[in-house]
């Protein structure tokens, strides 16, 4: 056992103030390979001005001394004294985390649509820079302030502009600090791609990049998304695609109650028979290279439109079932979504997590595309034929795999509600706590590829159970038969060809009993099905504990939100308070268990791949040998004294919902 550190007192607790948290853990706030992301934060602020129609030009200059200057002709950062903090607002923006003009989302907010929501944008830039120089033109004056090592080094000064000069905007020069980055060189290709995308997505915006030698590139796209996608794919005309490009846009108006006014998307989609593909998406001009729920919404809209067309025109051959990936297999697209309150995954904003974005983008694209297909039946048939060929190729591949499998399959458990698909990689099995939740899961699931196996009570603690006695327990017997893999050891030569599901998901209540069931099932898999953990087949679903109902507010419609636990509930309520919601107007309900959820709620929060939270189970940094020792201490029958000692030492770390 490691030697205990007894020096734990009041002096051990440190409070990081100002920008110090960023300097202590820069990787939590930005990418540290190079300073591009902290420059991107400045560019995104200028882009947000352009989204609102306040800015028509953005200029980026790479200076000979290694600094970078970003200038726009927007409204200029406010410079007056902040009513609460008592210091210039521009100083707050650069020196305080979680400050900014993008939290408020009412009708009169400064930024109805923006990419920045974390409030740690340019303050992170300042924290990780040796120096920042800021010039603001607004209120008929030129204002200047400078920062060194995150602190104000030159206080705000203001000089009146000449009487007839009406210049507005912001110029920010950044000197990144080499202490925090592997390399200070800005990747040119990535920077150019970012700047060009701003010009593509905002008609009328001119974006330029000036190199240290004075050479300048300027982007201003008259053809918008289509011209950019064709250029990226090397296409000359519409004849190079299977059908003409699907180009359009739709933004919600005040009469559409489901979404906030102005939310929506613009897009261009092409299908090519062969060659490379381009798939790019943006949310409020922020690139999302890891995709997210807005891309899922586009896929959903296209698939359902094509599926409806094939059904109406009776085009599907017998025995062929169309799946979203069949329609999406040869798609290239550029999607620019506009979301009022986007929830990104992480500060670098590479992936959109907003659940409502799936419905939003599907709502925007499906009706338009469906109407276009029915108006152009010849093109609709061509697209349907391409999707059907993809489906047939997929099914032939699956048949080849099935022939290798043993035909002597055990009879599946009677309480297993199986899925229809035979695609092991796509299929999912949910081990659900209780018959009540199992019933909701059966109704809410996608029966095409999701199977449900309800578990009655708590599974046997299998840590010290011999392999040949496991099947005496009915629940473990049913799990093994359902997944198609026999119990085995870590060193066994295991044949996983009989595996019936690519994902085996533990779905239990979000309380102490649910956590106990999770532990028992994880013990079973770790001890007797270790290859499934090594193979990445085991997952834990995270259902929410709370539901929050918020009324319509300003541009934001009625919201139905979910929170995993108390801490997420607190963060969600804080965000709603900043949007102007009062406590007495918010409805907060607590789920006592999965059985209380309707089928629709269970699908939306826990089963839908686009909106659920699913954690993969892997052997962590302890390694397998140390993990075995930890399991032995926690689950072994003769380890009560060791467990008690461990809980006395670590019990204060638990955050239990009792």
Q: Would the pTM of this model clear 0.85, i.e. be above it?
A: no
Checking if the pLDDT of 225 tops 50, the result is: yes
Of the pLDDT bands very low, low, confident and very high (cuts 50, 70, 90), residue 655 is low
* pLDDT of res. 408: 46
Q: Is 134 helix (H, G, I), strand (E, B) or coil?
A: strand
pLDDT average, residue stretch 163-180: 92
Checking if the pLDDT of 395 tops 60, the result is: yes
* pLDDT of res. 380: 95
Q: Token match 């962590």: residue?
A: 620
Active site residues per annotation: 433, 509, 511, 513
Name the percent of the chain lying above pLDDT 70. 88
Name which residue leads in pLDDT, 482 or 197: 482
Of the pLDDT bands very low, low, confident and very high (cuts 50, 70, 90), residue 399 is low
pLDDT average, residue stretch 394-423: 68
Name the percent of the chain lying above pLDDT 90. 38
Of the pLDDT bands very low, low, confident and very high (cuts 50, 70, 90), residue 7 is low
The dihedral formed by the CA atoms of 163, 164, 166 and 171, expressed in degrees to the nearest 10 = -70
pLDDT average, residue stretch 266-278: 92
* pLDDT of res. 347: 57
pLDDT average, residue stretch 472-485: 89
- Interatomic CA distance for residues 591 and 606, integer angstroms: 13
Checking if the pLDDT of 222 tops 80, the result is: no
Cβ neighbours of residue 188 under 8 Å, at least 6 residues apart?
A: none
pLDDT tens-digit readout, 430-461: 999 887 778 888 999 999 999 999 988 778 88
pLDDT average, residue stretch 620-628: 77
Name which residue leads in pLDDT, 428 or 653: 428
In angstroms, the first-to-last Cα distance of the chain is 30
Write out the H or E segment, with its range, that includes residue 160: strand 151-160
Q: Report whether 38 contacts 129 (CB < 8 A).
A: yes
Residue whose C-alpha is closest to residue 445's, from 208, 605, 285, 313: 605
Most confident of 253-262, 518-527, 576-585: 518-527
pLDDT tens-digit readout, 311-326: 999 999 988 889 999 9
Q: Report whether 459 contacts 520 (CB < 8 A).
A: yes
* pLDDT of res. 100: 46
Mean pLDDT value across the chain: 84
Mean pLDDT check: name the lowest of 97-101, 188-192, 593-597, 627-631: 97-101
pLDDT tens-digit readout, 118-154: 445 788 888 899 999 999 999 999 999 999 998 999 9
pLDDT average, residue stretch 251-268: 87
Q: Token match 């000979």: residue?
A: 64
* pLDDT of res. 652: 60
Checking if the pLDDT of 2 tops 80, the result is: no
Interior CA angle at 97 toward 95 and 101, to 5°?
90
- Interatomic CA distance for residues 615 and 611, integer angstroms: 13
Cβ neighbours of residue 560 under 8 Å, at least 6 residues apart?
A: 547, 548, 549
Name which residue leads in pLDDT, 383 or 166: 383
Checking if the pLDDT of 657 tops 70, the result is: no
pLDDT average, residue stretch 183-212: 89
Retrieve residue 568's tokens. Answer: 């997420």
* pLDDT of res. 21: 65
Q: Report whether 580 contacts 553 (CB < 8 A).
A: yes
Q: What is the rounded radius of gyration, in angstroms, for the C-alpha atoms of the chain?
A: 28
Domains of the chain: 20-219 (3.30.565.10), 224-400 (3.30.230.10), 428-542 (3.40.50.670), 547-590 (no CATH)
pLDDT tens-digit readout, 327-386: 999 999 999 998 887 888 765 678 888 888 999 999 999 999 999 999 999 999 999 999
Checking if the pLDDT of 249 tops 50, the result is: yes
* pLDDT of res. 130: 94
* pLDDT of res. 20: 66
- Interatomic CA distance for residues 547 and 587, integer angstroms: 8
Three-state secondary structure readout of 247-302:
EEEEECCCCCCCCCCCCEEEEEEEECCCCCCCEEEEECCEECCCCEHHHHHHHHHH
How many alpha carbons lie under 13 Å from residue 589 in its C-beta half-sphere?
11
pLDDT tens-digit readout, 528-553: 999 999 999 999 998 988 899 988 88
Of the pLDDT bands very low, low, confident and very high (cuts 50, 70, 90), residue 470 is confident
């Amino acid at each position: 056992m490691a030697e205990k550190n007894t020096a734990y007192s009041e002096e051990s607790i440190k409070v990081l103030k100002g920008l110090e948290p960023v300097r202590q853990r820069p990787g939590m706030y930005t990418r540290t390979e190079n300073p591009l992301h902290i420059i991107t934060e400045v560019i995104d602020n200028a882009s947000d001005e352009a989204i609102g129609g306040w800015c028509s030009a953005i200029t980026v200059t790479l200076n000979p001394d290694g600094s970078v200057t970003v200038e726009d002709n927007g409204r200029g950062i406010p410079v007056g004294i902040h009513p609460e903090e008592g210091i210039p607002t521009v100083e707050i923006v650069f020196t305080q985390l979680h400050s900014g003009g993008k939290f408020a989302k009412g009708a009169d907010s400064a930024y109805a649509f923006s990419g920045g929501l974390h409030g740690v944008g340019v303050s992170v830039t300042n924290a990780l820079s040796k120096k920042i120089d800021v010039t603001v033109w607004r209120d008929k004056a030129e204002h200047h302030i400078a920062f060194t090592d995150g602190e104000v080094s030159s206080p705000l000064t203001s000089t009146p502009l000449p009487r007839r000069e009406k210049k507005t905007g912001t110029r920010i020069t950044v000197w990144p600090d080499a202490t925090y980055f592997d390399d200070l060189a800005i990747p040119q290709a990535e920077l150019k791609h970012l700047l060009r995308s701003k010009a593509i997505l905002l008609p009328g915006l001119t974006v330029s990049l000036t190199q240290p030698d004075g050479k300048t590139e300027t982007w201003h796209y008259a053809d918008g998304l289509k011209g950019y996608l064709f250029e990226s794919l090397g296409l000359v005309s519409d004849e190079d695609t299977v059908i003409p490009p699907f180009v359009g846009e739709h933004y919600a108006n005040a009469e559409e109650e489901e979404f906030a006014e102005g939310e929506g998307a613009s897009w261009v989609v092409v299908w090519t028979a062969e060659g490379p593909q381009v798939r790019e998406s943006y949310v409020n001009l922020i690139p999302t290279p890891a995709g997210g729920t807005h891309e899922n919404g586009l896929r959903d809209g296209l698939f359902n439109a094509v599926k409806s067309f094939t059904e109406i025109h009776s085009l599907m051959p017998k025995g062929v079932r169309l799946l979203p990936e069949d329609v999406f297999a040869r798609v290239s697209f550029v999607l620019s979504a506009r979301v009022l309150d986007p929830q990104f995954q992480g500060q670098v904003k590479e992936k959109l997590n907003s659940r409502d974005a799936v419905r939003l983008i599907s709502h925007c694209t499906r009706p338009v595309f469906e109407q276009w297909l029915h108006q152009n039946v010849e093109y609709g048939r061509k697209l349907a034929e391409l999707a059907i060929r993809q489906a047939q190729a997929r099914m032939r591949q699956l048949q080849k795999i099935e022939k290798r499998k043993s035909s002597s399959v055990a009879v599946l458990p009677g309480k297993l509600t199986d899925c229809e698909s035979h695609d092991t990689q796509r299929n999912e099995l949910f081990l659900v706590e209780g018959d009540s939740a199992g019933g909701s899961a059966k109704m809410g699931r996608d029966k095409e590829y999701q199977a449900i196996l309800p578990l009655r009570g708590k599974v046997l603690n299998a840590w010290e159970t011999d392999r040949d006695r496991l099947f005496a327990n009915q629940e473990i017997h049913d799990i093994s038969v359902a997944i198609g893999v026999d119990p085995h050891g870590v060193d066994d030569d295991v044949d996983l060809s009989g595996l019936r599901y690519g994902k085996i998901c533990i779905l239990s209540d979000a309380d102490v009993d649910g956590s106990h069931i999770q532990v028992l099932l994880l013990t079973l898999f770790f001890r007797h099905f270790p290859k499934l953990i090594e193979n990445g087949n085991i997952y834990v679903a995270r259902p929410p504990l709370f539901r929050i109902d918020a009324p319509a507010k300003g541009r934001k419609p009625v919201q139905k939100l979910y929170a995993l636990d108390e801490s997420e509930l607190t963060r969600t309520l804080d965000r709603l308070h900043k949007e102007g919601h009062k406590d007495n107007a918010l409805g907060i309900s607590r789920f006592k268990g999965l059985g209380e959820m309707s089928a629709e709620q269970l699908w939306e929060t826990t089963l839908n791949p686009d909106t659920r939270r699913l954690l993969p189970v892997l052997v962590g940094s302890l390694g397998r040998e140390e993990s075995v020792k930890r399991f032995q201490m926690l689950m072994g029958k003769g380890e009560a004294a060791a467990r008690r000692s461990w809980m006395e030492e670590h019990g204060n770390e638990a955050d239990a919902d009792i």
